[in-house]
Amino acid sequence: MLSAIEAETAKRAESYAAAPVYNRFPGAEPGTPVDSPARIHLDWNPGSPVSARALVLAAENRLERISDAILVCSPPQIRREAPLDLNFTDIEILFNDHVKGWFFLIKELAAAFKAKGEGTLSLVYPEVNESPGEEEAPGLLGHSALAVFRTLTRDLLASAFSEPFITLGFTGVEEPGFAAFIFKQLEEKTRRANGKLYKYGKLSFFK
């Protein structure tokens, strides 16, 4: 899902900044970044509030301004038998990279948008099957990160009406058309769309 959204961004934007959340869990395979001349790669440490601020400032400096920010929760597919297979490293990575980072980054983006009186914050998360197969261990780490992001998104949407910028939520199955659907809504958005959660599936709809 993440690569599809970035590929769609690369087709539509003259330049954009991408700041991946690397999967640091043992045995995880590194993702493949989109190869585009429009892409500006920025690194950050999600577990650090100072790094989140530096990231937003770096994006503003490289792009001159941030008009749209798309945060994509792509939870790690690392399965553990809870609680016996969890270790301290797993827990630290989960909270530093896939929980705390979203709060820090959203705080800095909201401050930047509020200072300018405009901008669009989009939060995207997948709909996943939370019931493992009979031979699979529970996806405790990924599902925990997703649950936090999903709750955070819904709370931000509920409070969006008091802000000068627009906040949108997107969720759906990981199908080829999901990324294009997101950008279609972004292109057609108005202030009336503020606080909406768009859902995508075999039958696209929103509420």
Residue ranges of domains in the chain: 2-206
Q: How confident is the model at residue 30 (pLDDT cuts 50, 70, 90)?
A: low
In angstroms, the CA 80 to CA 136 distance is 9
pLDDT over 80 at 70, yes or no: yes
Q: What is the pLDDT, as a whole number, of residue 23?
A: 79
CATH homologous superfamily for the domain 2-206: NAD(P)-binding Rossmann-like Domain (3.40.50.720)
Most confident stretch, 50-59, 93-102, 139-148: 50-59
DSSP 52-89: HHHHHHHHHHHHS---EEEEE-------B-TTTT--HH
pLDDT over 70 at 7, yes or no: yes
Q: What is the pLDDT, as a whole number, of residue 204?
A: 45
pLDDT over 50 at 206, yes or no: no
Q: What is the pLDDT, as a whole number, of residue 74?
A: 84
The residue assigned the tokens 């991408």 is: 18
* Greater pLDDT, 169 or 29: 169
Q: Could you report the per-residue pLDDT of 82-110, keeping only the tens digit for each?
A: 566 678 888 888 899 999 999 999 999 99
Q: How far is CA 180 from CA 122, 155, 174, 176, 185, in A?
A: 14, 25, 12, 8, 9
Ranges 4-8, 46-50, 156-160, 164-168: which has the least confidence = 4-8
Helix (H, G, I), strand (E, B) or coil at 188: helix
pLDDT over 70 at 33, yes or no: no
Give CA angle at 126 (121, 127), nearest 5°: 130
pLDDT over 80 at 112, yes or no: yes
DSSP letter for 131, please. Answer: S
DSSP letter for 38, please. Answer: T
